[in-house]
Amino acid sequence: MPKMTFIKPDGSRLEVDAPLGATILEIAHKNNLALEGACEGSLACSTCHIIVADEDFERLPEASEDEEDMLDLAYGLTATSRLGCQIQITEELDELVVTLPDGSNNMLV
């Protein structure tokens, strides 16, 4: 099974199993990580914002326009930001490293 690593806001790293087809948001929840995902993957929030490691960013499929629009609203946006609910694990994404940002903008509350 592919693996992935989360870097938490405090800088600690957690390597976890990344089942094929699961989204980064689902994997974060399964591992009790603080990634909110307020709209449960329906591209209506930006609370599943994650920051992909520079060297891994190119491996990801490109973001859709809707994802880009939502990302523009994310707190602490970076050049390698993505929405965790929109990235599904494939064999190509084995060993992906993502950082959980410190805080989020939740427009649903």
- Does position 45 interact with ligand FES (CB under 6 A)? The reply is yes
d(CA 105, CA 74): 6
- Which residue, 39 or 52, is less far from ligand FES as judged by CB? 39
Question: Binding of ligand FES at residue 2 (CB under 6 A)?
Answer: no
Angle, vertex CA 37, rays to CA 32 and CA 56, nearest 5: 80
**CB under 6 A: which stretch of 8-16, 35-43, 55-63, 93-101 binds ligand FES?**
35-43
Q: Does 44 bind ligand FES (CB under 6 A)?
A: yes
Interface contacts to ligand FES, rule CB under 6 A: 25, 37-41, 43-45, 47-48, 70, 83, 85
